[in-house]
Structure 1
Amino acid sequence: MSLTPRPAHGLGYTNPILDADWPDPDVTRVGEQYVLVASSFNRSPGLPVLVSDDFVHWSIASHALARIHPVEHFEFPRHGQGVWAPSIRFHDGLLRIYYPDPDRGIFVVTAPGPEGPWSEPIAVLEGLGLIDPCPLFDGEHVYLVHGWAASRSGRSNELTVVELDASGTRPVGMPRTVIDGDEVPGCSTLEGPKFYRRGEHYYVFAPAGGVATGWQLAFRSTSPWGPYESRIVLEQGETAVNGPHQGGWVTADDGSDWFVHFQDTGAFGRVVHLQPVSWNDGWPLMGEPREGLPGQPVAGMRRSSGSATKESASRDHHRFARPGAGVPTRSDDFAATSLAPQWHWQANPRPGQVTLRGDGALVLPLRSNDSGNLRTLPQVLSQQLPQSPTAVTTSLHLDSRVEGARAGLTVLGTEYAWIGLVVSDGSVHVTGGVGPGHRGDRAFVEPAPVASGAPVELRLRSTSDARVDVAWRQGDGEWTEAIMPFRAKQGTWIGAEIGLFSAAPYGAVDTGEAVFGAIDIRTDREGNVA
């Protein structure tokens, strides 16, 4: 199957193919289907598994972790902890995802297909600072390469290989450092390795130089234990695609080769790009070839005379399918009785944390745990903020008599803004704030009383440079816009997120509930969002 003739409208694709935060992607092929996994950090459920038939149109098939482990530890937001960069392979009839928790070790989960069911995690290697694992199933041998997190282990810029048993779940030999980045000219922060075999050569693809500023290296050897020689095979070059970082190589069933990788975009997190791969003298050539230089990222592919043609990322690409043309569904009419797969929590949810009645309403009970900082709340129901201009609308009814109880719509990162409803002086008011502050959020919407019992419509808009504005209205009236100079900020290792929340002050009882109507999330790549 060719990847480029099949996108919608007979066009090629434009990068990024996924224009929101899908960090540290890896990909494999099962028959004619491509399966992608991304890291999830503190998000629950974790390890999102995406599928596509053409590498352009993606949907979420499942999450490989229903809860983040250890479950009790992750019942509270553990920003930057949890599930770091995974890898995915299909071997012996099973999909296998290897993932690290840098504070615990390396784990594996398995399933017969991308929809699951997924096994419980099995600990493969225990230890602090073990990150970015990737297996290689090589005949009768199974090898695992991984990197190191200096923040936990004091080690970095090196890659280690250990042999595993036939099940891929236990080590059978001592680990060896096979690539020392300190011995590679100009190499720093070597991480995110992926392990492959092609013909007589073993390959490790790994980024170096930092998440936002680095490049992609290929290491080659005739033995999995080395010694390895190296080349830079992809760098920013003359494009706007900074630091093409870790990803995965996959071969289509027509024999063509492709490489997915992420680009760090700051507030919007790590968006996913797709590069063509060719081979010369046993070395991969990624992206747009350049004479005597590493490849640079392409803006996409277009069809020309029935075949695909590369385009430089520095050129105009209006002829292509727009970026992220086939992203997973974002809007939700709440017509189902269980959460749609685009949603996640900031921590493992408790029983009864959400109710979906199938009537177009999402009900969040007001949990008594509000310290005044939304980043501390596990019950923020979230999804990624798209990179393109976006408008989000929903409706909200707050049923509570508890002073200080609140609910609303937020864009959440290390800093956040929100608009919603709060109980003040015995009645419900619309208000909003930015935070976190020293003692609660800083209000930017002057509290205004709302008609009793009637829902309030809320709107949040963001621009391609992360500026955010919010507004509200009741009934068919005009939108009341809040004036606030706020830019979305990324979270800890993740991008900013759209969120729905409800909470009540500590110690409150009989807190009530917040009822949200259907949420509409629209993006506009021309820069005009109504």
Structure 2
Amino acid sequence: MCTTHLAKAVRILDADRLPKAHTSQGPLPWFTTEGPKLYKRGGWYYVFAPSGSVKGGWQGVFRSRRIDGPYEGRNVMDQGDTPINGPHQGAWVDTPSGEDWFLHFSDTDSYGRRVFLQPMQWGADGWPIIGRRRGSQPYGAPVARNRKPNVASQPVTVPVTSDEFDNGYHRGWQWMANPMPDWVDPAVKGKLRLKAVSSPANLWEAGHLLTQKLPGMAFSVTTAVELKPGGQPGERAGLVAYGYDYAWIGLENTAAGQRLVQVTRLGADLGLSKGHVRQSHETVLVAPVEVRGPVHVRLSFSPVEVPDAAPDFPHYWHSMLHSTHAKVTFSYSLDGTTFQPFGPAFTTQPGRWVGTQVGLFAQAPGGTPSNTATRAGYGEFDYFRFSE
């Protein structure tokens, strides 16, 4: 027998009822106040919480002598005249040498939520100011470059991205859902063998995509893909740029044999990101080549600024009038040396609370009968390499 005891929840802070925040855009009401973190310093309880939306918000701090309030609040950092939008939703970090820092993100659309480290100071009045001080203002502005914290020397490291699949796949990869054991054949070394999993044609509804975050602003990613179908038309495998819209280049099995294709799907999330349901269809382009084995395929990314409609706020930062996405071009090679451009360029979209992802997949048609699924084929990828 299991007994659960639930303590009574107490609301200690309702930011929406507080006086307007003083920001570089003038007085603004508190809204979308979320992600709180509670600290205690010098006899004060501090709640650090972002407010004002993801891209158009600021970092709020609330304080009280009692944990249950009442709390007073203020803006301690906003975008100001910088290109770093919504500098908030992070954490206060202190060091053994007594320095204070603030770790936060900034939404960069298709490039995800980039992380920044800001200097932080405590004023004589017991309030923090984060980022670059702005004269006598009680709030700071974020900085893109700054001296490093005074901590022990550390080697310069970067996340692992490229993969030769010598011993499976490295830890920089992410599945789109909890993986099943048979999605990857662990007995294969030096290559990645992905099972052609039966799933809907819309990859937004498929959990068996193996993806990575975009590693930079401008780059190319290349792989060699070979499709070993189980005998049924419709199996496919490829290299995908994935988000609310997605596009991929790879191989598809048909009754007439394999073909090299570029596939684009706009509104893959069926409009759910915009609060309504709509139809979504694939656009398929077939390359004029004969597929006889592995094909090297490449996606090349470069950043583009896309204009956005003005938000329905009374005041906003001008950075909210555009989004940063990536223009993706496609190419292929039969010998791994000479690459041919293929198909139109594609403009990325982010995913749900994440940026665009790039990855690999193998797929069998949705609704494949169980007696056929046991004979499903696979996609085999020889390498996965990023380059500038």
Identical columns (%):
37
Q: Distance in 1 between matches of 2:145 and 2:358?
A: 28
SS of 2:238's partner is strand
Provide the residue aligned with 1:442 in structure 2. 283
SS of 2:287's partner is strand
Q: 129, 139, 154: which is aligned to 1:285? A: 129
Q: Distance in 2 between matches of 1:379 and 1:233?
A: 42
Provide the residue aligned with 1:176 in structure 2. 11
Provide the residue aligned with 1:467 in structure 2. 327
Alignment of structure 1 residues 417-496 onto 2, 5 Å = 417-436=247-266, 438=279, 440-443=281-284, 445-452=285-292, 454-465=293-304, 466-496=326-356
Q: Distance in 1 between matches of 2:224 and 2:36?
A: 45
Provide the residue aligned with 1:397 in structure 2. 226
2:191 paired with 1:354: no
User: Where does structure 1 lack aligned partners over 5 or more consecutive residues?
Assistant: 1-123, 125-169, 309-324, 523-528
Q: Tell me the amino acid that sits aligned with residue 357 of structure 2.
A: E
Q: 297, 301, 313: which is aligned to 2:146? A: 301
1:492 Cα deviation (Å)? 1.4
Provide the residue aligned with 1:224 in structure 2. 67
Q: Distance in 2 between matches of 1:405 and 1:440?
A: 18
Q: Tell me the amino acid that sits aligned with residue 520 of structure 1.
A: R
Residues 336 and 357, structure 1, Cα contact 8 Å, conserved in 2:
no
Provide the residue aligned with 1:372 in structure 2. 201
Q: How many residues are paired up?
A: 333
SS of 1:178's partner is coil
SS of 1:298's partner is coil
Q: Distance in 2 between matches of 1:174 and 1:507?
A: 46
Provide the residue aligned with 1:20 in structure 2. none
Alignment of structure 1 residues 132-211 onto 2, 5 Å = 172-185=7-20, 186-211=29-54
Instruction: Spell out, residue by residue over 1:82-103, the C-alpha distance to the aligned partner (whole angstroms, 9 max, x if none).
Output: xxxxxxxxxxxxxxxxxxxxxx
Alignment of structure 1 residues 504-515 onto 2, 5 Å = 504-508=364-368, 509=372, 510-515=375-380
Q: 1:363 to 1:307 in 2, by over 3 A?
A: closer
Please, what TM-score do these two structures have when normalized by structure 1? 0.60
Alignment of structure 1 residues 257-336 onto 2, 5 Å = 257-281=100-124, 282-293=126-137, 294-302=139-147, 326-336=157-167
Provide the residue aligned with 2:213 in structure 1. 384
Q: 1:264 to 1:172 in 2, by over 3 A?
A: same
1:225 Cα deviation (Å)? 0.9
Residues 397 and 515, structure 1, Cα contact 8 Å, conserved in 2:
yes
Provide the residue aligned with 2:310 in structure 1. none
Provide the residue aligned with 2:384 in structure 1. 519
Q: Tell me the amino acid that sits aligned with residue 384 of structure 1.
A: K
Instruction: Spell out, residue by residue over 1:249-299, the C-alpha distance to the aligned partner (whole angstroms, 9 max, x if none).
Output: 111111111101110111112111110111112111111011132100011
1:430 Cα deviation (Å)? 0.9
SS of 1:203's partner is strand
Residues 372 and 440, structure 1, Cα contact 8 Å, conserved in 2:
no
Q: Tell me the amino acid that sits aligned with residue 418 of structure 1.
A: W
Instruction: Spell out, residue by residue over 1:353-385, the C-alpha distance to the aligned partner (whole angstroms, 9 max, x if none).
Output: 11234622011111122x321111110111112
Residues 372 and 439, structure 1, Cα contact 8 Å, conserved in 2:
no
Please, what TM-score do these two structures have when normalized by structure 2? 0.81
Instruction: Spell out, residue by residue over 1:406-444, the C-alpha distance to the aligned partner (whole angstroms, 9 max, x if none).
Output: 10000100000100001123311111111047564102x
SS of 1:233's partner is strand
Residues 18 and 73, structure 2, Cα contact 8 Å, conserved in 1:
no
Aligned-CA RMSD value = 2.2
Q: Tell me the amino acid that sits aligned with residue 349 of structure 2.
A: K
Q: Distance in 2 between matches of 1:455 and 1:173?
A: 61
Q: 1:307 to 1:511 in 2, by over 3 A?
A: closer
Residues 417 and 434, structure 1, Cα contact 8 Å, conserved in 2:
yes
Q: 1:409 to 1:478 in 2, by over 3 A?
A: same
1:307 Cα deviation (Å)? 8.0
Instruction: Spell out, residue by residue over 1:98-121, the C-alpha distance to the aligned partner (whole angstroms, 9 max, x if none).
Output: xxxxxxxxxxxxxxxxxxxxxxxx
Instruction: Spell out, residue by residue over 1:312-355, the C-alpha distance to the aligned partner (whole angstroms, 9 max, x if none).
Output: xxxxxxxxxxxxx7442111111114x42211111111221112
Q: Distance in 1 between matches of 2:185 and 2:290?
A: 25
Residues 97 and 150, structure 2, Cα contact 8 Å, conserved in 1:
no
1:402 Cα deviation (Å)? 1.9
SS of 1:411's partner is strand
Larger radius of gyration: 2
Q: Distance in 1 between matches of 2:367 and 2:346?
A: 32
Instruction: Spell out, residue by residue over 1:112-154, the C-alpha distance to the aligned partner (whole angstroms, 9 max, x if none).
Output: xxxxxxxxxxxx9xxxxxxxxxxxxxxxxxxxxxxxxxxxxxx
Q: Distance in 1 between matches of 2:54 and 2:239?
A: 30
Residues 109 and 350, structure 2, Cα contact 8 Å, conserved in 1:
yes
SS of 2:110's partner is helix
SS of 1:239's partner is coil
Q: 1:398 to 1:174 in 2, by over 3 A?
A: closer
Q: Distance in 2 between matches of 1:184 and 1:482?
A: 57
Residues 237 and 251, structure 2, Cα contact 8 Å, conserved in 1:
yes
Alignment of structure 1 residues 87-166 onto 2, 5 Å = none
SS of 1:388's partner is coil
Higher strand share: 1
Residues 221 and 228, structure 1, Cα contact 8 Å, conserved in 2:
yes
